[in-house]
Amino acid sequence: MITKKFKLGKKEGNGLCRVIALRSFGCVAKGEVGGFVEKEANLSQEGDAWVSGDAQVYGDAWVSGDARVYGNARVSGDAWVSGDARVSGNARVSKRSLCSRFNFETTAEVELWWKAEDAFEKAAFEKALEKLRNKKGGENIR
């Protein structure tokens, strides 16, 4: 059974609750008051993941692993921030998974990451399609 690392404080004016550390872990001290989440499911009880400052995590978003969300960052929708990812400053993440070792401080940086990922996925798809075409003897495969 997992020992809980945080509990939720009372709901504040923004409709979210501050997280409160129940034990020390990573660089978080027992009793430390963190950032805002909508519900317990937004932050993993495992690993060293943490939300701090005025950062907010809500909707179906989830922070796990050793990820950190801090500053005025917002993670929402169905976004997953995991691994060693850092989302900070005024960055906004609201789609897809963000599983990396990168630090994102602005929404523009997050959007640039998605563009690079899309380009990589498109190139990988085109390469796989070309292999398939060659294997099938040049048949009309789209």
> What are 84-94's pLDDT values in tens digits?
889 999 988 88
Cα 69 to chain centroid, rounded: 8
Inter-residue contact 77 to 62 (CB < 8 Å) = no
Please report, for the chain, the start and end positions of each structural domain, with discontinuous segments joined by +: 6-105, 107-142
- Confidence band (pLDDT; 50, 70, 90) for 137? low
pLDDT at 113: 74
Between the CA of residue 58 and those of 10, 75, 77, 109, 113, what are the distances in Å? 15, 7, 7, 21, 21
Q: What is the DSSP letter of 24?
A: -
Closest CA to 99 of 75, 132, 131: 75
